[in-house]
Amino acid sequence: MTQASQTSRSDLVGCPHCGKRNRISAAARGVARCGSCRGLLPWLTEATDADFDAVAVQSSLPVLLDLWAPWCGPCRMVAPGVERAAQQFAGRLKVVKVNVDHSPNTAARYQAQSIPLLLVLQDGEVVARQLGAVPPDALLRWVEGALPPAK
């Protein structure tokens, strides 16, 4: 990769505790907290080949990586479970979606020949792998099993 692993992209995240909208940098470290009430925020963002290292590999939280593409029907089936994971594991997990059509290097790095491919990463290393569509409840159980225990 020749591009700098920096990104200025950010996401607007509504706080589930107080309703305030927070702007969270995609490459922020640590957990996402509400600037108003300090509550933990669900964190779902996107990355591309250009900023994958900054957003996902350098994350201090475990990352749920969703490798998907717009033409992939089963990818749409897993999307609700992925969004629920961001909410249920707020403060324990950062969810990063990567469109494999736009980010072939990241797709190749994690051998995403077939999608949807869900991975749990810690420091960029795969700690759990789920290939193919999975219902939301099963997805949440799978993520829970891959995460360090709640503090």
Task: Tell the smallest beta-carbon distance from residue 16 to Zn ion (Å).
Answer: 8
- Provide the token pair at 145: 């099993």
Cβ count within 10 A of residue 129: 14
Task: Tell the smallest beta-carbon distance from residue 66 to Zn ion (Å).
Answer: 25
Report the residue number, 13 or 54, with the smaller CB distance to Zn ion: 13
Q: Looking at 15, 34, 37, 75, which residue is catalytic?
A: 75
Which residues here bind Zn ion, judged by CB under 5 A? 15, 17-18, 20, 34, 36-37, 39
Report the residue number, 23 or 73, with the smaller CB distance to Zn ion: 23
Task: Tell the smallest beta-carbon distance from residue 37 to Zn ion (Å).
Answer: 3
User: Catalytic amino acids?
Assistant: 72, 75
